[in-house]
């Protein structure tokens, strides 16, 4: 399996499919690169080079005790991009991965980046504060950590329901979607699980978003039960210069995996890549 070694000697797994201008996919939490397989094949079939990595602590990458903050994640992404010498690059990120993308632009700039896509992404800020009343209450994040520490296997199975909006009438979610989520969650280390909750809950990305100087597409489902659209993408589109927001009606948080929604997203992704 292919790996790159980071500046602090951690091993980051990645997959690399196809040829052409590169499209690098950044997964959400608690997933890994496999969450992007449908999109990886889609872009590779269309003449692009699809790349996806497992964030440290997730999947097949190293599982160190620390380093679960967005500066470190952005620097890991920078190590991957530089090692593979990627240029004219489109970054595509889901959920927590949107924070990784934003911090990469804020920390390392966009000299290698052509475009950006963020799906159900957490920027500019997830947690509810007096200045962010649309955010998620702190108790929700503490309950997530208690669930992981208490019995994470059952927690991941339970969490798959709101992740995909499987609790809605006439939803399109398959049992396979939910098992895949559980399987990827179980490959994340328990330390990464709880530390990432603190990171994606409390990290503010306002300054990072202001640093964007590339065409940016935001995609968000209006039934996202994990990352509320009003606290995130509806605000991010006002901060990122020239950004566009596309709202998927009744779309869940995990829309890139759910039949029906994923085909719609893939079509929009290819159109954006070719524009």
Which among 95, 160, 165, 233 is annotated as catalytic? 95
The CATH number of the domain where 56 resides is what? 3.40.50.1820
Q: Do residues 31 and 181 touch, judged by C-beta distance below 8 A?
A: yes
- Provide the β-strand partners of residue 17: 50
Output the pLDDT for position 1.
Answer: 79
Q: Is 224 a catalytic residue?
A: yes
Q: Is 253 a catalytic residue?
A: yes
Output the pLDDT for position 240.
Answer: 98
**Which residues, at least 6 apart from 237, have a Cβ–Cβ distance to it below 8 Å?**
218, 243, 244, 245
**47: alpha, beta or left, given left = phi > 0 and alpha = psi -120 to 50?**
left
Whole domain around residue 47: which residue ranges?
3-274
pLDDT digits (tens, 9 = 90+) for 35-85: 999 999 999 999 999 999 999 999 999 999 999 999 999 999 999 999 999
Positions in the chain short of pLDDT 50: none
For the chain, the domain total comes to 1
Q: Which two tokens stand for residue 16?
A: 């690399």
The pTM of the whole model exceeds 0.95: yes
Q: Is 153 a catalytic residue?
A: no
């Amino acid at each position: 399996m292919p790996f790159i070694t980071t500046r602090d000697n951690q091993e980051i797994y990645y997959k690399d499919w196809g040829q052409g201008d590169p499209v690098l996919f950044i997964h959400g939490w608690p997933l890994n690169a496999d969450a992007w397989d449908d999109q990886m094949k889609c872009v590779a079939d269309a003449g692009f080079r699809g790349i996806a990595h497992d964030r440290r602590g997730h999947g097949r990458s190293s599982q160190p005790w620390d380093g679960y903050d967005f500066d470190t994640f952005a620097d890991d992404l920078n190590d991957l991009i530089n090692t593979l010498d990627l240029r004219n690059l489109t970054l595509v990120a889901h959920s927590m991965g949107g924070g990784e993308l934003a911090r990469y632009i804020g920390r390392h700039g966009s000299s290698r980046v052509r475009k950006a896509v963020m799906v159900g992404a957490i920027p500019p800020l997830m947690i509810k504060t007096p200045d962010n009343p649309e955010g998620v209450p702190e108790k929700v994040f503490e309950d997530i950590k208690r669930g992981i520490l208490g019995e994470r296997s059952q927690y991941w199975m339970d969490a798959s329901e709101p992740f995909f909006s499987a609790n809605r009438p006439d939803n399109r979610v398959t049992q396979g979607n939910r098992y895949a989520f559980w399987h990827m969650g179980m490959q994340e280390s328990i330390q990464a699980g709880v530390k990432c909750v603190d990171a994606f809950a409390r990290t503010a990305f306002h300054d990072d978003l202001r640093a964007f100087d590339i065409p940016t597409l935001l995609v968000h489902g209006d039934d996202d039960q994990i990352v509320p659209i009003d606290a995130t993408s509806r605000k991010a589109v006002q901060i990122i210069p020239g950004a566009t927001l596309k709202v998927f009606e009744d779309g869940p948080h995990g829309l890139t995996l759910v039949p029906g929604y994923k085909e719609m997203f893939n079509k929009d992704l290819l159109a954006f890549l070719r524009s």
